Amino acid sequence: MNRNSLRHRVTFFYVALLAVALLTFSVAVYLGVRAFITRSLEHSLSMNASTILTDYIKPLDSKGSAWFQNEMSESYPTGVSDTFVRVSRGQEVLYETGEMRGLPISASALASAGDADTSGEVNRTYTKSGQEILTYTLLYRQPQGDPIVIETGATTEPIRHVLRSLFLILLTGTPIILIAAALGGYVLMAHALRPVETLTEQAERVGREDLGERLPVIPSGDELERLSLALNRMIER
């Protein structure tokens, strides 16, 4: 098997070009999915904080602390959940949820980031085990009294699981596609070059037995047909 043959060179070039395209596509898909699901989580945290502010914080003075505790516990239970919520005023914690699902850490163990500089921003904190948590802080300044800080947060573990699965799919799928493309390209090139091989074999036999013998004209309408006609004219001359 001649590795320098046209068939091998064209197949290698085709597979190399496809590999670059697949690598670019895979990187773009991975980064796009990561950005999308991260923004979705950040948007969800900000929406939770805005809902708490509108539905529970602003009516707090008129409806009382007991109502606030009851409504918050129904919407954001203090047991194990996927997200955490903490509402505080000064040093007083008005409400907070319990442990986050899959993390041996409670909301009270997370340092408060609520101040005027971080209001409306998403921050990243890390547990002692290295797990990442996104937190969103919203500051509400009351007409009277200390401002109320609303904090919502969630672990990024689900994002990591999704990205890990996507990475494995891309990692295993790309070689399979390249192998299939190499085999398919090799077969297609063999079919495309078969007329050239026919011309070559016939050219080797021209003139050995019959000086009037000519090459077969390939009726393809492309360069191969023009080549066979040109060779026959050369033989006639």
Task: Give domain limits for the chain.
Answer: 206-237
Kindly give the confidence (pLDDT) of every residue in the chain, 237 residues in length, as a single tens digit, with 9 standing for 90 and above.
455 566 677 778 888 888 999 999 999 999 999 999 999 999 999 999 999 999 888 888 888 889 988 988 888 887 666 778 888 887 888 888 877 666 655 555 565 654 545 577 888 877 777 778 888 988 888 777 788 889 888 888 888 999 999 999 999 998 898 888 888 877 777 776 677 676 666 766 665 665 666 666 666 666 666 777 777 777 777
Q: Tokens in use for 15?
A: 């597979």
| Cβ-based neighbours of 173, under 8 Å, separated by 6 or more | none
Calpha distance 195→197 (Å, rounded): 5
Calpha distance 63→12 (Å, rounded): 74
pLDDT, position 83: 79
In 73-218, beta strands by DSSP E: 83-89, 92-96, 121-126, 132-140, 148-155
Calpha distance 169→29 (Å, rounded): 12
DSSP-derived 3-state class of residue 185: helix
Cβ burial, residue 72 (10 Å; 0-12/13-18/19+): buried
Closest by CA position to 22, among listed 237, 139, 220, 169: 169
Q: Is 223 left (phi over 0), alpha (psi -120 to 50) or beta?
A: alpha
Q: What are phi and psi of 85, to 5 degrees?
A: -135, 135
How far, rounded to the nearest angstrom, does the alpha carbon of residue 117 sit from its chain's CA centroid?
Answer: 32
Angle, alpha carbons 151-122-117 (nearest 5°) = 80
Tell me the β-bridge partners of 124.
134
Calpha distance 203→197 (Å, rounded): 10
DSSP-derived 3-state class of residue 17: helix
pLDDT, position 117: 55
